[in-house]
Structure 1
Amino acid sequence: MAASPRTRRQVPEVIVHATTRSLPAVLAAAALTVALAGCGSGGDGSGATSGGAPTTAAAPAVTKDDALAAMVPASVSSDGKLVFGTDASYPPNEFTAPDGTTIIGLDVDLGTAVAQKLGLTPEFQNSQFSGIIPGIEGARYELGISSFTINDERIKTVDMVSYFSAGTSLAVASGNPEGITPDNLCGRAVGVQAGTVQVDDVAARSQACTAAGQPAIAVTELQQQTDVTLALTSKRIVAMLADSPVVSYAVTTTSGAVEVVGEPWDTAPYGIALGKSQGQFAQAVQGALQAMIADGSYAAILQKWNVSNGAIATSEVRS
């Protein structure tokens, strides 16, 4: 796998296992407040809550923190913008609105709030996923927020700030007429997005199939996750592997055509990526996220997108 896949988006020489931690009382209370205001609640262990499609509510306003803003390097803050690279093909994390141009999603709301906390205006640029980390290294983007899983391979080239926890889930046609499970995929047509950890996952499963004398998995690898989901709903494949919030979102937005099988596996944190050797920039981003966790705005954003089960209690810098 190349150096920039997701956990979708992960390079797993070593797969990191981490369970979602409980939020402090103030965060739980904030989430409850939003739920009482009319958002769905509940959970299925998938990294997303089961309250239906995300609401159209605006993300909560976040105020500037002068101390954190002062930690941002002048090379970043001088133009007043914070430029993010993102691959807008992975709902509900990052995708395009019905107008076809506006980028929306969980990561966009969180990135916008981080920028506001640092006193900057966010700008999200749509990029092929594999080009985001090279774009950070080449100074095209100041940050990358695109469901990147934190792993040892990535932090060789970028620093990463944790903000969410997700795993891999299996989706099949509603009713699961073929009785598909993660352990009986041999010989079946399974879809994954290119450049994701699911590519490695399905390859390892396919190798295990052939080693046991069974047929290999017939893998369909597509450039965009939305195309993988379409392949499943149009019955060109019988199953897909993707990040848990993405699979849960597909369930809520395909008119009952898709369902999740079992529980997610290989749960690990997502991270915002940024270049190395930039003074206190990573600490500023981490501080912004931690402040949002403390004031409840983080919980409100996750609740908006029905992914509260992926919340983390503490944001950390990995470098």
Structure 2
Amino acid sequence: MSLPRRAFVTAAAAFAAALTLAGCGSGTTGAAAELAPAKGSTAPNGTVVNLSPNQNRVSTPKVDAIAALVPEEIRKKGTLTVVDSLGTTPPLDFYANDDKTIIGVEPDIATLIGNVLGLKVEFNPVSWENIFVGLDSGKYDVGLSNITVTEARKEKYDFATYRLDILGFEAKKGSGLKVAGAKDLAGRSVGVASGTNQEKLLISWSEENVRNGLKPIDIKYFQGPEFYLALSSGRIDVYVGPNPSLAFHVVQSGETEIAGTYSGGGADVLGKIAATTRKDNGLVKALNAAVEETIRNGTYAQVLKRWGLEGEAVQSSEINPPGLPKPKP
């Protein structure tokens, strides 16, 4: 498979190889409940996944020098308000088998950051669009919900990176579909969640196909796990989303496969996931230093290993690195 950028090829190949070995389960609610077993299972690296509300999360000591970087208002309240998704995207962010406790790699990373900063972490699960509404209003301090760094978002938000952003394309098993670029989806019906970078990628690919005399992509929108039914029934040919959650579902269902992976940053930028906070509110340096501390002391690696996501590790946390480019006019 041809993938963008040499650096991305190495990371994505290792990650994709690991993800195809096995999967883990969740206790998600509603439509997502059918996707996972009621009890525990195994992560891609062979680690048994704890699906109970008693997570025994990896922890790390407070570092006073880093905690001192936190804006005074947040230090005084003693709480870091974290906004995340509604809990339906295992292994990133999903519900434990009590159907109410948020678990996954994102809450674990948030907890580590809170540890270093000496702050209690308060999770606030909301819909995707309300993550940014809450950050804009100051209701929440930081978003940790698989948020990709983009040049457009950098105008309103500051970022401290903590994972690579790898997108996946999920198709029915045996479809023969292989996705490495725009032409592979010409004339295809493709599902995606609105307001995401995956949507932007599909729109740009569709426009590219038209410019090249190919058919546009027939984009279908889904805001929840109902896309699995559309995929199994043939109403869509493929779905594009975060590779960890799609690979998770592939192993559980036994009916689908990953037809390709791609950098969440597009063809020219290595996509990166970041802790996201309102621009110039003074928090990003503390977030960056906290992530750096967890990388240094090894707890970051422990968390990724716990969820089988070692292939998404970053070597260091960056503040506002190059992000997904703005669409060309």
Instruction: Indicate the TM-score class for this superposition, using the shorter chain for normalisation.
Output: 0.7 to 0.9
Shift of 1:227: 2.8
| Counterpart secondary structure, 2:308 | coil
- Cα–Cα, structure 1 residues 315 and 103, in superposed 2: closer, same or farther, change >3 Å? same
Shift of 1:63: 1.4
Question: Does the aligned pair in 2 maintain the 1:168–1:264 contact within 8 Å?
Answer: yes
Shift of 1:235: 3.4
Deviations 1:7-49 (A, max 9, x none): xxxxxxxxx96835999xxxxxxxxxxxxxxxxxx96443964
- Counterpart check, 1:56 vs 2:49: yes
Q: Which residue of 1 aligns with 2:32?
A: none
Percent identity between the two aligned chains: 26
- Cα–Cα, structure 1 residues 277 and 298, in superposed 2: closer, same or farther, change >3 Å? same
Q: Which residue of 2 aligns with 1:95?
A: 94
Deviations 1:201-242 (A, max 9, x none): 222333344445554332211113x23334323433221111
Cα distance in structure 2, aligned partners of 1:253 and 1:111: 27
- Amino acid of the residue matched to residue 204 of structure 2? A
Cα distance in structure 2, aligned partners of 1:112 and 1:306: 18
Deviations 1:249-299 (A, max 9, x none): 222232x112112342334111111123333x2111111111111111111
Q: Which residue of 2 aligns with 1:168?
A: 167
| Gapped regions of structure 1 (runs ≥ 5) | 1-15, 24-41
Q: Which residue of 2 aligns with 1:270?
A: 273
Question: Does the aligned pair in 1 maintain the 2:67–2:116 contact within 8 Å?
Answer: yes
Aligned residues: 282
Cα distance in structure 2, aligned partners of 1:245 and 1:285: 23
Deviations 1:120-146 (A, max 9, x none): 111111112122123112111010111
Deviations 1:144-178 (A, max 9, x none): 111111121111111110000022221111122x5
What is the TM-score normalised by the length of structure 2? 0.77
Cα distance in structure 1, aligned partners of 2:158 and 2:198: 23
- Counterpart check, 1:128 vs 2:139: no
1:196-215 to 2 correspondences below 5 Å: 196-215=196-215
Q: Which residue of 1 aligns with 2:153?
A: 154
Q: Which residue of 2 aligns with 1:305?
A: 307
| Counterpart secondary structure, 2:77 | coil
Question: Does the aligned pair in 2 maintain the 1:48–1:248 contact within 8 Å?
Answer: no
| Counterpart secondary structure, 1:249 | helix
Question: Does the aligned pair in 2 maintain the 1:43–1:50 contact within 8 Å?
Answer: no
From 285, 288, 297, the counterpart of 1:286: 288
1:176-255 to 2 correspondences below 5 Å: 176=175, 178-182=176-180, 183-224=183-224, 226-254=225-253
Residue range with higher mean Cα deviation, 43-52 or 285-294: 43-52
| Gapped regions of structure 2 (runs ≥ 5) | 25-42, 51-55, 322-329
What is the TM-score normalised by the length of structure 1? 0.79
**What is the RMSD of the two structures over their aligned residues, measured on CA atoms?**
2.7
Residue range with higher mean Cα deviation, 192-201 or 139-148: 192-201
Shift of 1:311: 0.3
- Cα–Cα, structure 1 residues 282 and 180, in superposed 2: closer, same or farther, change >3 Å? closer
- Amino acid of the residue matched to residue 282 of structure 1? V
